[in-house]
Structure 1
Amino acid sequence: MEKRLVETDLFGEMGRWSKPSIYQVPEWVKNMTTDSEQAAYYRPLLVSLGPFHHGKGHLADMEEHKERAVLHIVKRSGKPLSEFITAIEGVIDELLDAYDNLEDKWRKAERHLFVKIMVLDGCFLLEMLKGVSDKEAPRDYATNDPVFSVHGMLCLWVGIRCDMLVIENQIPLLALYKLEEIWRGTALLSARDINNLVLNFVWDPLEDKDKQRDRIVDNKLCLHPLDIYHKHFCGLHPATQGTKMKWEPSMHCAVELKEAGIHLRKCNNTNVMNYKSRVLSLPTISIAHDGTAKIFLNMMAFERLHSDAGSEATDYMIFMDNIINSERDVALLRSKGIIKNLLSSDKEVAQLFNNLSRGAVLNPYSRLHEIRRKVNAHCGRPWNRCWAIFRYTYMRNPWAFISLVAAAILLIATILQTIYSVMGFYKP
C-alpha cells in the first residue's frame, strides 16, 4: 500500500474513474427489486455485445449472423477486412478502458479476441441500424433471410433494442464510428451521424423524419447506446439544480391530487415537469411493451454506477411512484395523455412504477423537491380540498348545478318567509 500512495493523486484518480462507462451490475443493485426475474433485467436475451456476455450459450445462435454481416459489409465496401481490423486496433486501448473491471486476459492473451468482438458486434449493429433506419433490408441478402430482411429486422427489433440498452451489454460508439469511417471511405463522417443513427433505432425508428430531426442529439460522440437513450430520456424531464433543496415527504397519489383541486396536464411546448397555479404538468411517457421495465432499470443502474450520468431518470421514476398507487391513478394519467399504455392493463403499469424505485433515493439537489413542497402545501389546506369536492360534485354536470341553485333559492325563500312571519308576530 505504501508503494501505491502515489496513485492517490487527485487528478490521477479523476482520470482513472472517468474512463469506464460500461459496468457489470453489482448484487446490491440487483437486490433492490424483489421481482423473481430480476437477474434477467441485467443480461441480454438475444444477442451479446461486448466482452461481458460473449460466448454465453443462450446467445450463440446470433454469432453466425454477426459473421455474415461482416462478410457482406466488407464485400459491399470494396475494402479489405484488414482495414476494418486495423481501424479497431488503432483505438483498442480506449475501447478496453471503457469496460469497468475487465479481466486482464482481454488486454493480454485474448487481446486479438477483443478486436474480433468489436468488429463482429460493430458490423452487426451497423447493419441492423441502417436497415431499420432505411426501412428496407440491404439488397445483397436473400428476401427470406431470417435476420437481415425486412421481416427479420422488424421481428427482431424489440429484442435487439432491449439487449442494446442492457448496461452490461454495451459496445462503445467509438467502435461503430471507426467501422463506419472505413465503410464510407470518407472523412466527412461526424459524431452526430452515429449518434442519430443509434438514437433513431433505440427510440422509435417508425417515427416520421421530421420528428426524428427534432430529437436531442450531441455533436460529441456519446459513450454507448444506453448513454444516448439516457440523454434523450432525461431531456424530457427536469435536470438537477446546484443548490440543495429542503427534503419533502412523499406526495399524494394522482386521484387524491385531483380531489384536492390540482389539475394534471401533459406538457405542451416544453417537456420540463413543473407546477404552477394548481396545475401539475408532466411529460408524456410510453409504456410500450414488457421490456420497458428492463430498459428503465438499466438506465437507473447506469446513473448509480456512472457518476457523470446524473440522477434525472431515477428522480423521475421516484416521482411517478409517488403519484401512482393503483390502476385508478394510471387510468387518470392515461386519460390526461400523460401515460401511453400499450400493456394489457393499467394494473401492470402501476406495478411497474411501484417496483422500479425500490431502494432509490431522490437526489437532494433535484428541483422535484420544490414541486413536492408546492403540491403538499396546497393539499395541506383543508379549504382547497372542500372547494375541490364542491366543484367536482356540483359543477361538472349542468343539471346538478341547476339543482343546487334551485335548492339555494328555495332555502333563501324559506328563510325570508320565516323572518317575515316572525316580524309580523311581534309587529303586526
Structure 2
Amino acid sequence: MSEHSTRAKEKQTVEVPAAMRAEEKGNCSSLVFEMENMYVDTDLHSVEIAHWKKTSIYRVPEWVKRITNVEAYRPWAVSLGPFHHDDPDLLPMEEHKLRAVHHMVKRSGKQLREFVAAIEAVADELQEAYDNLDYQWRGLNKCRFVEMMVTDGCFLLELKRMAEIRSRGEIDEDYAVNDPVFSDRSLHYLRSMFQNDIIMMENQLPLLVLQTLLGVQDGASPSQSAEQVNNMVAFLLDCELEEGNDSLGLHPLHIFHRSFCGPSHLDYEGSGKCDSTMPSAVELSKAGIHFKKSSTESIRDVDFKDGILFTPLIEVHDYTEKIFLNLMAFERLHRDVGNDVTNFIYLMGDIINTGADVMILRSKGVMEQLLGSDEEVAKLFNSMSKGATMSPFSKLNDVQRKVNDHCRKPWNKWRASFVQTYLSNPWVFISLLAGVILLITTLLQTVYTVAPYYTKRWQTPN
C-alpha cells in the first residue's frame, strides 16, 4: 500500500470518530442551520394559505377514527384515489376498473394515449388536491398517479352511464348480461355500496378528472360545463343540487355535502351566545315542546317557534353512520364548507339519549328508522356526536338557546304537566271535568244554603 493511501486511511479513521463524538456531545449546529434556512426569504403566511387552499382530499385523523368508528371511513368495494389503492380487500375491483377504461375508450373512438395525455396535463393540479400525498405517486412515479386517475375516472363515468341507462329502462349492449359489475342485475345489488364508497372522505377523486376525460371523449376541452359535471355526480349519488350550481365541485363528497345541506342562501349568522347542551326529547316533551317535520329536507332547516321544534325528516339505516361521519370529517378538515352537518349531529346527540327519545321522534313523524331497535339508534347518535362541537354562530345554536329559555320558565312545565296528566286521555279528562262540575255544584249548594241565614241575620234589627 502506498504512503498516500496509508495517510488517507489514517485521516479517515481519525475524522469519522471526531464527528461521532460531536453528535454524542449534542452538537446540533448543522441541524439548526438547516432549519433556519428552510424558509429563508419565504412568506410563510402566503405559502401556507396557498397550499391549504388547493388541498381538498384528506386522511381522517386517527384520533377521530378511534372515538367514532374506524370502519366508517374505509371503503367496502372499490378504491378511488391513492389513499386506499393498495388495500388487499379492494384489489379485486381493479380488474373491473380496467375493463371500464377499455369499454369507454373503445366507444369514444379515441386512443387511450389521448386520455392519458389530457390527465397528465393537469396532473400537478390533481396531486395538489391530496393532503400529504405519498412519494410513491410523485416524481418518477407520476405516471402511476396518472394511470390511477384515468382508471378511476373512467370507472365512475361508466357507473354514471349505466345508472342513466337503468333509469330510462333501456338495455345496454356494451356489457354482457351476466357482467359481475356493470350488468343491470349486478348494479341492482352493488349500486348502494358503490354510492357509499364514493362519498368516503379518504376515497375521493377530483371532479376535474371527470371533466377532463369527458372532454377527450366528446372531442372538446372541456365538453361538459361545471354545472353539468356537478349534476352528473349528483345523479350518480341519487341526490339533487339547487339551480345555479355553476362552480365545479371539489369531488363527489363535496357535491353530496352541497345537496345534503341545502341551498347556500340559507346561510345564517347566529348571536354568538352559547348554550352547552339542551334537554332530551323526553324532557322537551315534558316541558310542553312539540316536534314537527320541517318543510324541506335540508339539515339547516331547523327552527323553534311557538313551542314547536321543527326538524327535517331523519332516515336511519345501515349506511347512516358512514354518511354522517364522513360528512363531519370533511367539515372538520376543510374549512370552506362550514359546519352544518356537525352542528346538526351535535344537536341530535343532545335530543337523543335513550330509546324513549327515539320513540318520541318516530311518533311525531320526524324520524324513520330501519336500523333495529330504538336503543340501537340512540347509541348510534351518541357515538356520532363524540368530539363534535356546536358553532356559536350557527342557527342551530340559537335554536338550542331558545329551547332552553322555554324550558327554564316554570309556567311552561306546569302547563305541559297539566296537559299530559289530564288532557292526553279522554277518560281522564272526563273524570276531571266531572270532578270540576261536582266541586262547582257543591260550592253553589253551600252558598245557597248559607246565604239565607246571613241575609235574615242582616235584616233583623239589633
Offset at 1:181? 1.8
Residue aligning to 1:208: none
2:211 paired with 1:180 = no
User: Is 1:238–1:273's contact at 8 Å kept on the other side of the alignment?
Assistant: no
Residue aligning to 2:101: 70
Separation in structure 2 between the aligned mates of residue 249 and residue 121 of structure 1, nearest angstrom:
44
Offset at 1:410? 0.9
Residue aligning to 2:429: 401
Residue 349 and residue 243 in structure 1: after superposition, are their counterparts in 2 closer, same or farther (change >3 A)? Answer: closer
Residue aligning to 2:130: 99
Q: Helix, strand or coil for the counterpart of 1:110?
A: helix
Alignment-mate amino acid for residue 66 of structure 2: N
Residue aligning to 2:63: 28
Alignment-mate amino acid for residue 275 of structure 1: F
User: Is 1:274–1:371's contact at 8 Å kept on the other side of the alignment?
Assistant: yes
User: Is 1:237–1:273's contact at 8 Å kept on the other side of the alignment?
Assistant: no
Q: Helix, strand or coil for the counterpart of 2:176?
A: coil
Residue 248 and residue 297 in structure 1: after superposition, are their counterparts in 2 closer, same or farther (change >3 A)? Answer: same
Residue aligning to 1:249: 276
Residue 217 and residue 347 in structure 1: after superposition, are their counterparts in 2 closer, same or farther (change >3 A)? Answer: farther
Match of 1:285 among 314, 317, 329: 314
Pairing of 1:292-371 with structure 2 (within 5 A) = 292-371=320-399
Residue aligning to 2:29: none
2:400 paired with 1:386 = no
Pairing of 1:202-241 with structure 2 (within 5 A) = 202-203=237-238, 212=240, 215=242, 218-235=245-262, 241=268
Q: What CA deviation, in whole Å up to 9, does each residue of 1:290-343 have, x standing for no partner?
A: 222012111111111111121111000000111111222222222333222222
Q: Identity rate of aligned residues, in percent?
A: 47
Q: What CA deviation, in whole Å up to 9, does each residue of 1:135-165 have, x standing for no partner?
A: 1564211101110101111211122112111
Larger Rg over CA atoms: 2
Separation in structure 2 between the aligned mates of residue 400 and residue 6 of structure 1, nearest angstrom:
82
Separation in structure 2 between the aligned mates of residue 247 and residue 337 of structure 1, nearest angstrom:
29
Q: Helix, strand or coil for the counterpart of 1:300?
A: helix
Count of residues in Structure 1 that have an aligned counterpart in Structure 2: 415
Q: What CA deviation, in whole Å up to 9, does each residue of 1:350-375 have, x standing for no partner?
A: 11111001111111222222111111
Separation in structure 1 between the aligned mates of residue 260 and residue 455 of structure 2, nearest angstrom:
78
Match of 1:113 among 140, 144, 165: 144
User: Is 2:269–2:395's contact at 8 Å kept on the other side of the alignment?
Assistant: no
Instruction: Give the TM-score taking structure 2 as reference length.
Output: 0.84
Q: What CA deviation, in whole Å up to 9, does each residue of 1:67-110 have, x standing for no partner?
A: 11011111111111111111101110110000000123312121
Residue aligning to 1:52: 83
Alignment-mate amino acid for residue 258 of structure 2: K
Structure 2 unaligned residues grouped into runs of 5+: 1-34, 457-462
RMSD of aligned residue pairs (Cα, Å)? 2.2
Residue aligning to 1:207: none
Match of 1:156 among 190, 198, 201: 190
User: Is 1:162–1:295's contact at 8 Å kept on the other side of the alignment?
Assistant: yes
Higher relative CO (Cα under 8 Å, sequence separation at least 6) belongs to 1
Offset at 1:51? 1.0
Separation in structure 2 between the aligned mates of residue 185 and residue 191 of structure 1, nearest angstrom:
17
Residue aligning to 2:41: 6
Residue 243 and residue 345 in structure 1: after superposition, are their counterparts in 2 closer, same or farther (change >3 A)? Answer: closer
Q: Helix, strand or coil for the counterpart of 2:246?
A: coil
2:299 paired with 1:268 = no
